[in-house]
Structure 1
């Protein structure tokens, strides 16, 4: 990401971002599941909303510019936005032969080609893949270039499967592609340097890459890039910003730059920028579901949350995809899934007072789920205009997401520049229609 053209200095840009985020704080500072609990949608006040077709494919907030509220919103967005050109479609002569979907295949092929190009430009013959997963990127890169690859993965199951796949399908890469079970941190430099000496004794310059640089991993990769003498280039795809480590009410690795730290502290940034803010930064702006489907999903889940809140309970998912929304045409179908297999209600405080709870009683307490009649009553209590407000809320989040992400990533870019790295940028590598994770950080140390 970069500094929008409307601003002369980073400080001016960060100040304008804080003004914008503060004015529309209700879109940023709470979980989407809590919009009914917090009465979030009451902040959206549009005259004659009942007559507005928000689900029309041609509907945009720009069409509401005659309303002062949205005129200011759209004007501020325009000033704070950074525009990217069309993505250059990349191809690779090596076919990815693995049981992965089109999205994953597209990401691996594209990033492998980008890494190949940057290694060629800066003379790297070795790649460190942080968060290497099942090793798809590593094997494709090796087959295309013959370079050394060190894959570092903290998930033991993923690491074991990568090694197993290599032994079964890529035995010829054993001398050049090495997988290590290792959790990458900013203090991993000495260990990684030793791995390189052990396995690639005569290696040259090194490139650090990562396709799934979730949470703090992208920042840890930046730290290794700065500290390790052999590392010359960096190319990371950050994601899942909301998983970054927190201490108290602040993120450990945000802000990084001196420019943002000064503004952040003066504007009490920790009161505004929390997990929901970071979750929005990683939120995909394109979705293959219609706006009406997204509103249904948002409101349905919010009803469950409101029910749990009023009954002093917490909603716990029983599985990753608690409700298969695409198979739900009605709220009745949604709550049937939710109450039977999707979620469990857990009381916030023991209902048995000081009496010890037996395992049987605890299990009974957990599976005593939702009262479906009460859920139906809550759903019916919201008029159609409230659902239209939910649609406006979703559209506002989609409009704000690139600005929120730019705010976060520009801080990282400034930090690298403050540390003396002049060759660095955020670049759009992927087409958003094929992969929502489309922005990569690239950096290089100038040779002396």
Structure 2
């Protein structure tokens, strides 16, 4: 019979798990710390894919390699190794297996006993979160008020889980509590908690127009349902780790009565806000209305600020300029507030990921594997555009060159690039794509059809490689995300909050950022 790890054993196991992941991504850093737009100009396939994998791909062919990749990508919880697939590609198979295993290991009981918190909150570890509503009377809030389907799924599942936590940890103890939803946006989660489950909810946002929109939406729902809206309130305030949530909740005692506990929640808190909420929960305050429950789902890792980015790579993607054009790019200063890393363990190592890694962590390998479809034309066309832009910059006048280099800096440093060129369900050939891209970039570049055809013919050999490179690279997305999430979990353990867990709330095909950081104190 397996015994529960001690506090120290769990922390050490979590540190070891982070070390393993970090060592792994360092061994393949060149694959994720690059930009797909440079696939041709930077010769990414030859430079960054290990030689044994290149040889295996060349020998096996695109079709068989894709079959192998999609096989491992479709494994949901247990890796199934098919020798007929893996034997011809031992190096690639080892890489794919490692990527998937690091994702599954986030629920290893030695570091994150997810099943124990599920069992405690939901009574039955086999019960799905969204079905566990038997003991709480839901009010008549129709899902029609929640669009699109993704948001309905998230709100249904998370509100159910939070309501169960509230019932077990507060209501059943005779404690009157309130939910504080920070970064609540239009109030989808907050209104569901108030109107479905009768919980007191304070929705907080830093933007007054967002707060007003949440109030307006809630008022409309209440009118349709002939309900009173007193259980869901909104407030515009900038929250820091020093904010006393208890004092904010007290402002609504005239509506709610005396509240003695706070549950802090957030559905897809963006960038640094997720880290700030976790810090706020962990902060020790002398208050008569303490925060004792946390349920936070983060998102937008690409918008995280990092504490230890080296000066020369401050959130700047490297792109391949011709030699005579080097030295024109600029650095952007870091924000004072940083959201990664949080744990002392990674802070002592001054660990950093970089923007390319965080961008990748925000992508969904599950969706790509489920659809078995890669937008090869879009990737290929964008890579060809990069060759055209850099060739043009090398041969144009100083004035035009300066404008174009400034545009490239903006595209790479700030992350504002060409943007969406393809319209929904539309298919563009290379000539149409380049023409549209030049217009969006406000560049007076005219390429004859014959010249574009030559470009397409010249670079056509990159098409199959760019697809396989993209798929190999996206397998790292959940590995990098796991480092961010386990860092947050370790931070809470370091603060002495031992009842802290990562719980997979959502279906990752519907909502890729599916893990909630759940903690009790």
Cα gap change, 1:74/1:163 in structure 2, threshold over 3 Å: closer, same or farther?
Answer: closer
Shift of 1:256: 1.9
| Higher percent of residues as strand | 1
Q: Work out the CA distance in 1 between the residues paired with 2:375 and 2:64.
A: 11
Structure 1 residues not aligned, in runs of 5+: 345-365
TM-score between both structures, scaled by the size of structure 2: 0.70
Correspondence for 1:284 among 364, 371, 378:
364
Matches within 5 A, 1:41-440: 41-42=45-46, 43-44=48-49, 45-47=54-56, 49=58, 52-54=61-63, 58-60=67-69, 63-64=85-86, 66-67=88-89, 69-74=91-96, 76-77=98-99, 80-83=102-105, 88=128, 90-91=130-131, 93=138, 94-98=141-145, 100-123=147-170, 125-170=177-222, 172-187=227-242, 189-190=243-244, 192-200=245-253, 202-227=258-283, 229=287, 230-246=290-306, 249=309, 252-262=338-348, 264-265=349-350, 269-270=351-352, 273-287=353-367, 290-312=371-393, 313=404, 314=407, 321-324=420-423, 326-328=425-427, 330-340=429-439, 343-344=440-441, 366-369=442-445, 371=447, 373=449, 376-384=453-461, 386-440=462-516
Equivalenced residues, count: 409
Which moves more between the two structures, 250-259 or 120-129? 250-259
Contact 1:297 1:325 in 2 (8 A): no
> Equivalents in 1 of 2:197, 2:206: separation in Å?
26
Measure, in 1, the Cα distance between the counterparts of 2:268 and 2:432: 35
Q: CA RMSD in A?
A: 3.2
Instruction: Check whether the contact 1:255–1:411 (CA below 8 A) recurs between aligned residues.
Output: yes
Q: Structure 1 residues 307-316 or 117-126, which shifts more? A: 307-316
Cα offsets for 1:200-252 (capped at 9, x unmatched): 36113111111121101111111111225521100011111110124672682
1-structure distance, mates of 2:270, 2:466 = 29
After alignment, is 318-327 or 139-148 more displaced? 318-327
- The aligned counterpart of 1:361 is none
Structure number with higher helix proportion: 2
- Conserved 8 A contact 1:131-1:154: yes
Task: Classify 1:281/1:125 alpha carbon distance in 2 versus 1 (closer, same or farther; 3 Å).
Answer: same
Q: Distance in 2 between matches of 1:130 and 1:150?
A: 8
Secondary structure class of the residue paired with 2:62: coil
Distance 1:22 1:48, change over 3 A: closer
SS at match of 1:425: strand
Q: Please list every run of 5 or more consecutive structure 2 residues that lacks an aligned counterpart in the other structure.
A: 73-84, 108-114, 116-125, 171-175, 311-333, 394-403
